[in-house]
Amino acid sequence: MTRRGHLPRLLLAASLLLCAPGPAHACGPEALGTARVMEIDPKGLRVGKKSFPETLPLAPKEVVLTFDDGPWPATTAAVLDALKAECVRATFFLIGENARARPQLVKRELAEGHTVAHHTMTHPSATLAKIPFDAAVKEIERGLAADDGAAYGAAGTAPHVPFFRFPGFASTPQLLEYLDRKGIAVFGADLWASDWNVMTPEAELDLVMKRLEATGGGIVLFHDTKPYTAAMIPAFLKTLKQNGYSVVHMVPKPAS
Protein backbone atom coordinates (compact mmCIF):
# COMPACT_ATOMS: atom_id res chain seq x y z
CA MET A 1 0.00 0.00 0.00
CA THR A 2 0.04 2.82 0.76
CA ARG A 3 -2.33 5.10 -1.02
CA ARG A 4 -3.80 8.51 -0.21
CA GLY A 5 -1.12 9.15 2.38
CA HIS A 6 -1.72 5.99 4.42
CA LEU A 7 1.99 5.29 5.04
CA PRO A 8 2.13 7.38 8.26
CA ARG A 9 -0.88 5.43 9.57
CA LEU A 10 0.82 2.17 8.66
CA LEU A 11 3.97 3.22 10.48
CA LEU A 12 1.96 4.08 13.59
CA ALA A 13 -0.14 0.93 13.39
CA ALA A 14 2.75 -1.49 12.87
CA SER A 15 3.98 -2.91 16.15
CA LEU A 16 7.54 -4.05 15.80
CA LEU A 17 8.26 -6.77 18.32
CA LEU A 18 11.16 -9.08 19.08
CA CYS A 19 10.35 -12.55 17.79
CA ALA A 20 11.16 -15.68 19.77
CA PRO A 21 12.23 -18.85 17.99
CA GLY A 22 9.52 -21.08 16.55
CA PRO A 23 7.52 -22.93 19.21
CA ALA A 24 8.47 -26.44 18.09
CA HIS A 25 12.20 -26.01 17.52
CA ALA A 26 15.07 -24.43 19.44
CA CYS A 27 17.86 -22.81 17.44
CA GLY A 28 21.28 -21.71 18.57
CA PRO A 29 23.08 -18.46 17.76
CA GLU A 30 24.40 -19.90 14.51
CA ALA A 31 20.87 -19.95 13.06
CA LEU A 32 19.44 -17.05 11.10
CA GLY A 33 16.32 -16.77 13.25
CA THR A 34 13.47 -14.29 12.93
CA ALA A 35 14.56 -10.84 14.06
CA ARG A 36 11.16 -9.34 14.72
CA VAL A 37 7.44 -9.51 14.04
CA MET A 38 5.58 -6.69 12.32
CA GLU A 39 1.90 -6.42 13.23
CA ILE A 40 0.08 -4.77 10.35
CA ASP A 41 -3.24 -2.98 10.12
CA PRO A 42 -4.57 -4.45 6.86
CA LYS A 43 -7.12 -1.75 6.08
CA GLY A 44 -6.18 0.00 2.84
CA LEU A 45 -2.79 -1.72 2.71
CA ARG A 46 -1.17 -2.15 -0.70
CA VAL A 47 2.56 -2.86 -0.61
CA GLY A 48 5.35 -4.20 -2.79
CA LYS A 49 7.17 -1.90 -5.15
CA LYS A 50 6.85 -4.23 -8.12
CA SER A 51 3.13 -3.32 -8.09
CA PHE A 52 2.55 -0.32 -5.82
CA PRO A 53 4.31 2.93 -4.88
CA GLU A 54 5.12 1.86 -1.31
CA THR A 55 6.39 -1.13 0.61
CA LEU A 56 6.54 -2.16 4.25
CA PRO A 57 8.55 0.04 6.62
CA LEU A 58 11.63 -2.17 6.67
CA ALA A 59 15.12 -1.21 7.75
CA PRO A 60 18.07 -1.78 5.40
CA LYS A 61 18.88 -5.49 4.93
CA GLU A 62 15.56 -6.64 6.37
CA VAL A 63 13.62 -9.19 4.34
CA VAL A 64 10.10 -10.61 4.46
CA LEU A 65 9.94 -14.12 3.01
CA THR A 66 6.80 -15.10 1.10
CA PHE A 67 5.85 -18.27 -0.77
CA ASP A 68 3.06 -18.62 -3.34
CA ASP A 69 0.93 -21.40 -4.82
CA GLY A 70 1.22 -24.13 -2.20
CA PRO A 71 0.81 -26.29 -0.36
CA TRP A 72 2.37 -28.89 -2.62
CA PRO A 73 3.56 -32.45 -1.88
CA ALA A 74 7.22 -32.80 -0.92
CA THR A 75 8.31 -29.27 -1.85
CA THR A 76 6.28 -27.41 0.77
CA ALA A 77 7.42 -29.85 3.43
CA ALA A 78 11.04 -29.34 2.37
CA VAL A 79 10.67 -25.57 2.58
CA LEU A 80 9.12 -25.89 6.03
CA ASP A 81 11.97 -28.15 7.15
CA ALA A 82 14.53 -25.57 6.03
CA LEU A 83 12.71 -22.69 7.75
CA LYS A 84 12.33 -24.71 10.96
CA ALA A 85 16.03 -25.58 11.02
CA GLU A 86 16.88 -21.86 10.98
CA CYS A 87 13.95 -20.70 13.20
CA VAL A 88 12.66 -18.50 10.38
CA ARG A 89 9.02 -17.60 9.88
CA ALA A 90 7.47 -16.80 6.53
CA THR A 91 4.12 -16.05 4.91
CA PHE A 92 2.46 -18.59 2.62
CA PHE A 93 -0.06 -17.34 0.05
CA LEU A 94 -2.14 -20.47 -0.55
CA ILE A 95 -4.16 -21.62 -3.52
CA GLY A 96 -7.49 -22.78 -2.12
CA GLU A 97 -7.72 -26.04 -4.04
CA ASN A 98 -4.21 -26.97 -2.89
CA ALA A 99 -5.04 -26.12 0.71
CA ARG A 100 -8.22 -28.17 0.56
CA ALA A 101 -6.30 -31.15 -0.85
CA ARG A 102 -3.48 -30.96 1.72
CA PRO A 103 -4.83 -29.58 5.01
CA GLN A 104 -2.10 -31.33 6.99
CA LEU A 105 0.52 -29.08 5.39
CA VAL A 106 -1.56 -25.98 6.08
CA LYS A 107 -1.91 -27.00 9.72
CA ARG A 108 1.82 -27.59 9.89
CA GLU A 109 2.47 -24.07 8.61
CA LEU A 110 0.32 -22.69 11.41
CA ALA A 111 1.82 -24.96 14.06
CA GLU A 112 5.33 -23.80 13.16
CA GLY A 113 4.42 -20.13 13.47
CA HIS A 114 4.03 -19.10 9.84
CA THR A 115 1.34 -16.81 8.45
CA VAL A 116 -1.29 -18.44 6.21
CA ALA A 117 -2.50 -15.95 3.58
CA HIS A 118 -4.47 -16.19 0.34
CA HIS A 119 -3.91 -16.44 -3.44
CA THR A 120 -7.38 -17.32 -4.93
CA MET A 121 -9.03 -20.70 -5.32
CA THR A 122 -7.47 -21.97 -8.56
CA HIS A 123 -4.88 -19.39 -9.70
CA PRO A 124 -6.71 -18.84 -13.02
CA SER A 125 -4.34 -18.70 -15.97
CA ALA A 126 -6.20 -15.73 -17.41
CA THR A 127 -5.57 -13.80 -14.13
CA LEU A 128 -8.30 -12.01 -12.22
CA ALA A 129 -7.81 -8.90 -14.34
CA LYS A 130 -9.02 -10.70 -17.48
CA ILE A 131 -12.13 -12.42 -16.17
CA PRO A 132 -15.48 -10.79 -15.25
CA PHE A 133 -15.56 -8.99 -11.92
CA ASP A 134 -18.14 -11.34 -10.39
CA ALA A 135 -16.09 -14.38 -11.41
CA ALA A 136 -12.96 -12.82 -9.93
CA VAL A 137 -14.73 -12.12 -6.65
CA LYS A 138 -15.93 -15.72 -6.54
CA GLU A 139 -12.34 -16.91 -7.10
CA ILE A 140 -11.18 -14.81 -4.17
CA GLU A 141 -14.03 -15.74 -1.83
CA ARG A 142 -13.78 -19.47 -2.54
CA GLY A 143 -10.03 -19.32 -1.94
CA LEU A 144 -10.44 -17.55 1.39
CA ALA A 145 -12.97 -20.14 2.53
CA ALA A 146 -10.91 -23.12 1.38
CA ASP A 147 -7.72 -21.84 3.02
CA ASP A 148 -9.43 -21.13 6.34
CA GLY A 149 -11.28 -24.42 6.23
CA ALA A 150 -8.00 -26.29 5.81
CA ALA A 151 -6.22 -24.23 8.46
CA TYR A 152 -8.86 -23.85 11.15
CA GLY A 153 -11.54 -26.42 10.32
CA ALA A 154 -14.11 -23.84 9.25
CA ALA A 155 -14.35 -20.51 7.48
CA GLY A 156 -16.02 -17.48 9.01
CA THR A 157 -17.51 -14.37 7.49
CA ALA A 158 -14.04 -12.79 7.33
CA PRO A 159 -10.66 -14.46 6.81
CA HIS A 160 -8.52 -15.16 9.86
CA VAL A 161 -5.59 -13.49 8.09
CA PRO A 162 -6.74 -10.68 5.79
CA PHE A 163 -3.68 -10.85 3.50
CA PHE A 164 -4.07 -11.44 -0.24
CA ARG A 165 -1.80 -11.58 -3.28
CA PHE A 166 -3.11 -11.37 -6.84
CA PRO A 167 -2.01 -14.20 -9.14
CA GLY A 168 0.43 -12.69 -11.59
CA PHE A 169 0.11 -9.41 -9.61
CA ALA A 170 -2.81 -8.69 -11.98
CA SER A 171 -5.15 -6.43 -10.04
CA THR A 172 -7.84 -4.02 -11.23
CA PRO A 173 -9.07 -0.81 -9.57
CA GLN A 174 -12.47 -2.43 -9.00
CA LEU A 175 -10.98 -5.51 -7.31
CA LEU A 176 -8.66 -3.38 -5.20
CA GLU A 177 -11.64 -1.37 -3.99
CA TYR A 178 -13.53 -4.58 -3.24
CA LEU A 179 -10.65 -5.90 -1.10
CA ASP A 180 -10.30 -2.51 0.57
CA ARG A 181 -13.98 -2.58 1.59
CA LYS A 182 -13.45 -6.04 3.08
CA GLY A 183 -10.42 -4.88 5.05
CA ILE A 184 -8.03 -7.20 3.20
CA ALA A 185 -4.44 -6.13 2.60
CA VAL A 186 -2.92 -6.62 -0.85
CA PHE A 187 0.70 -7.73 -1.13
CA GLY A 188 2.93 -7.48 -4.14
CA ALA A 189 6.68 -7.98 -3.81
CA ASP A 190 9.83 -5.89 -3.90
CA LEU A 191 11.79 -8.60 -5.68
CA TRP A 192 11.25 -12.15 -6.81
CA ALA A 193 13.22 -15.28 -7.55
CA SER A 194 11.75 -15.69 -11.05
CA ASP A 195 11.33 -19.33 -10.10
CA TRP A 196 8.49 -19.75 -12.58
CA ASN A 197 11.49 -20.35 -14.87
CA VAL A 198 13.28 -23.68 -14.48
CA MET A 199 16.81 -23.22 -13.12
CA THR A 200 19.30 -24.90 -10.85
CA PRO A 201 19.23 -24.14 -7.12
CA GLU A 202 22.68 -22.54 -7.48
CA ALA A 203 21.49 -20.23 -10.26
CA GLU A 204 18.42 -19.24 -8.25
CA LEU A 205 20.49 -18.46 -5.17
CA ASP A 206 22.85 -16.29 -7.19
CA LEU A 207 19.95 -14.45 -8.82
CA VAL A 208 18.09 -13.74 -5.58
CA MET A 209 21.18 -12.54 -3.72
CA LYS A 210 22.08 -10.17 -6.56
CA ARG A 211 18.57 -8.76 -6.49
CA LEU A 212 18.66 -8.39 -2.71
CA GLU A 213 21.95 -6.54 -2.99
CA ALA A 214 20.36 -4.19 -5.53
CA THR A 215 17.24 -3.50 -3.46
CA GLY A 216 18.82 -3.60 -0.01
CA GLY A 217 16.07 -5.92 1.26
CA GLY A 218 12.29 -6.06 1.01
CA ILE A 219 9.43 -8.50 0.38
CA VAL A 220 10.79 -11.52 -1.48
CA LEU A 221 8.59 -13.84 -3.55
CA PHE A 222 9.27 -17.57 -3.95
CA HIS A 223 7.06 -20.50 -4.93
CA ASP A 224 7.03 -23.47 -2.57
CA THR A 225 5.78 -25.63 -5.45
CA LYS A 226 9.17 -25.58 -7.22
CA PRO A 227 11.69 -28.34 -6.43
CA TYR A 228 14.72 -26.17 -7.22
CA THR A 229 13.43 -23.47 -4.86
CA ALA A 230 12.90 -26.02 -2.09
CA ALA A 231 16.43 -27.32 -2.67
CA MET A 232 17.86 -23.79 -2.62
CA ILE A 233 16.22 -22.48 0.57
CA PRO A 234 18.68 -24.00 3.12
CA ALA A 235 21.66 -22.37 1.38
CA PHE A 236 19.68 -19.14 0.91
CA LEU A 237 18.96 -18.81 4.64
CA LYS A 238 22.60 -19.41 5.53
CA THR A 239 23.69 -16.88 2.90
CA LEU A 240 21.30 -14.29 4.33
CA LYS A 241 22.95 -14.63 7.73
CA GLN A 242 26.45 -14.55 6.29
CA ASN A 243 25.65 -11.32 4.49
CA GLY A 244 24.05 -9.53 7.43
CA TYR A 245 20.37 -9.78 6.45
CA SER A 246 17.61 -10.30 8.99
CA VAL A 247 14.10 -11.70 8.63
CA VAL A 248 10.90 -9.87 9.57
CA HIS A 249 7.71 -11.89 9.98
CA MET A 250 4.44 -10.14 9.17
CA VAL A 251 1.15 -10.86 10.94
CA PRO A 252 -2.16 -9.00 11.04
CA LYS A 253 -2.73 -6.61 13.90
CA PRO A 254 -5.35 -8.10 16.23
CA ALA A 255 -8.79 -6.53 15.93
CA SER A 256 -9.51 -4.05 18.67
Select which of 68, 69, 147, 224 is catalytic. 68
Residue 139 identity (one-letter amino acid): E
* Cα–Cα distance, 51 to 187 (Å, whole number): 9
Instruction: State how far Cα 129 lies from the chain centre.
Output: 21
Quick check: 146 and 100 in contact, CB under 8 A?
Answer: yes
Residue 137: closest CA among 169, 91, 171: 171
CA dist 123 → 73, 129, 142 (Å): 17, 12, 11
- Please confirm, yes or no, whether 249 is among the known catalytic residues: no
Q: Is 68 a catalytic residue?
A: yes
Distances in Å between the Cα of 109 and the Cα atoms of 83, 91, 113, 208, 222 are 10, 9, 7, 23, 16
From the list 114, 123, 160, 223, the catalytic residue is 223
Give catalytic residue positions.
68, 223
